[in-house]
Amino acid sequence: MTAPSTFGLSSEARNLHWLLTNLVEEVPGIESVAVVSSDGLLLLSSDPGRNEEAREKRTDRPSGPRGSSADLATVVSGIGSLTVGAARLMEYGGVRHTMVAMDEGSLFVMSISDGSLLGVHGSADCDMSVVAYHMALFVGRAGHVLTPELRSELRKSLEAESTGSPR
């Protein structure tokens, strides 16, 4: 995976990009990753569809829900909202993580901070415990730096990247 350009970003934003890239490259079976804000906005993504090199490497397997990080972010946000509502209804406290196992893959959703979520789409043969462990490491490293200011910076960065305008 080739990481999106981090030119002009703060050191915290560059660090989160590095953590996300490392998560995808180092953990076998991860197809795509999205970090979503509490209001459902995509903040950070591994979207392999954004660059040619990653697309060429992944021609033999699916690249995530419809191949788009925006689709993954929508699913992650919806599942996050549903599980939070269920936890409130059942009065069992906050939701730490959710896993959906499907015939052809898995979806993992983990709380980061202030309602932000980390969503991972894994292949059918991924080791779920390894994915969950590395997600917990990401959350532990990212949670304390994901401030409102950083979320705003990441969102603006994604918007600029999608429109091709400078940050």
pLDDT of residue 3: 46
Measured CA distances, 146 to 31, 121, 157 (Å): 23, 21, 15
* Sequence-ordered alpha helix ranges (H) in 2-107: 11-26, 52-57, 69-90
Sheet holding 30-36, edge to edge: 42-45, 30-36, 117-123, 105-111, 97-102
Euclidean distance between CA atoms 47 and 146, whole angstroms: 20
pLDDT of residue 165: 59
- Tell me how far apart the alpha carbons of residues 167 and 107 are, in angstroms, rounded to a whole number: 31
pLDDT in tens, the chain (167 residues): 444 556 678 888 898 999 999 999 999 999 999 999 988 889 998 875 543 343 344 455 455 444 567 788 999 999 999 999 999 999 989 888 999 999 999 999 999 987 899 999 999 999 999 999 999 999 998 888 888 888 888 888 887 776 665 55
Q: Return the SS3 of 62.
A: coil
Q: Which domains does the chain have, with CATH numbers?
A: 11-163 (3.30.450.30)
Q: Please provide residue 26's backbone torsions phi and psi, each rounded to the nearest 5 degrees.
A: -95, -20
Instruction: Report how far residue 104's alpha carbon sits from residue 55's, in angstroms, rounded to the nearest whole number.
Output: 20
Token look-up 């979320």 returns 151
Residues 6+ apart with CB under 8 A from 17: 3, 4, 6, 9, 44
The pLDDT of residue 121:
93
Report which secondary-structure segment, H or E, holds 148. helix 148-163
Burial of 72 (0-12, 13-18, 19+ CB in 10 A): buried
User: Alpha-carbon distance 46 to 148, whole Å?
Assistant: 21
Amino acid 89 reads L
